[in-house]
């Protein structure tokens, strides 16, 4: 039986961030096509920033887990 020792490549925070960035890109496209969706473009920037923050948090978490691996 092989132990992983926390060597994750991707975690839940990173997946959440990628999903939010993709969602904000879809909303940007919808805002460029439809005038009603264009009203929500400032909120799209907020969703994009939150997605980027989740991606950064995921990367930081993975690096911390890798630094705690016993030698």
> Distance between alpha carbon 53 and the CA centroid of its chain, in Å?
7
Q: What is this structure's pTM? A: 0.81
Structure token pair of residue 15: 């997946």
Q: How far apart are CA 20 and CA 28, in angstroms?
A: 12
Q: What is the pLDDT of residues 3-58, one digit of tens each?
A: 666 567 889 999 999 999 999 999 999 999 999 999 999 999 999 999 999 999 99
* HEC secondary structure over the chain: CCCCCCCCCCCHHHHHHHHHHHHHHHHHHHHHHCHHHHCCHHHHHHHHHHHHHHHHHHHHHHHHHHHCCCC
């Amino acid at each position: 039986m092989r132990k992983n020792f926390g060597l994750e490549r991707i975690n839940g925070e990173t997946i959440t961030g990628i999903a939010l960035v993709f969602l904000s890109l879809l909303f940007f496209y919808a805002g460029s096509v439809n005038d009603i969706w264009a009203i929500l473009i400032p909120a799209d920037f907020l969703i994009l920033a939150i997605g980027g923050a989740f991606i950064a948090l995921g990367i930081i978490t993975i690096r911390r887990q890798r630094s705690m691996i016993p030698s």
